[in-house]
Amino acid sequence: QVQLVESGGGLVQAGASLRLSCAASGRTFKGYAVAWFRQAPGKEREFVAAIRWSAGNTYYEDSVKGRFTISRDNAKNTVYLQMNSLKPEDTAVYYCATRQQYGSSWSLKVLNEYGYWGQGTQVTVSS
């Protein structure tokens, strides 16, 4: 069983940066994919970014490309989401999730493909 813990959220002004962390306990991320999803008030949870742990391949939702970067630290068994040039529309609870890394790139963006989730961290961007 794996437990995921997110951290790094907060309240920032538009244009600022934040770095979210997703730490795993119970097992390593080796052989798995890790993704970030977000859920704004009144909206469905949506895909943000994903990384395949072994190869390091990364995938992004179009609205965050060029602003967000997902990365991993093998030694710390942690995945990061560096968020730059934040916009008010980025305001949401951000969740990390993990699943087996094999499968299509399309499937990595599907919420129901992930079996393990963290508790979420709030990101609020003021205008």
Residue 20 in this model has a pLDDT that exceeds 90: yes
Looking at residue 102, its pLDDT comes to: 83
Instruction: Evaluate whether 25 touches 73 at the Cβ level (below 8 Å).
Output: no
Place of tokens 């008010």: 88
pLDDT tens-digit readout, 72-121: 999 999 999 999 999 999 999 999 999 988 889 889 999 999 999 999 99
Query: φ and ψ at 41, to 5 degrees?
Result: -55, 130
pLDDT tens digits, one per residue of 66-76:
999 999 999 99
Per the prediction, the chain carries an average pLDDT of 95
Three-state secondary structure call for residue 21:
strand
pLDDT in tens, 47-73: 999 999 999 999 999 999 999 999 999
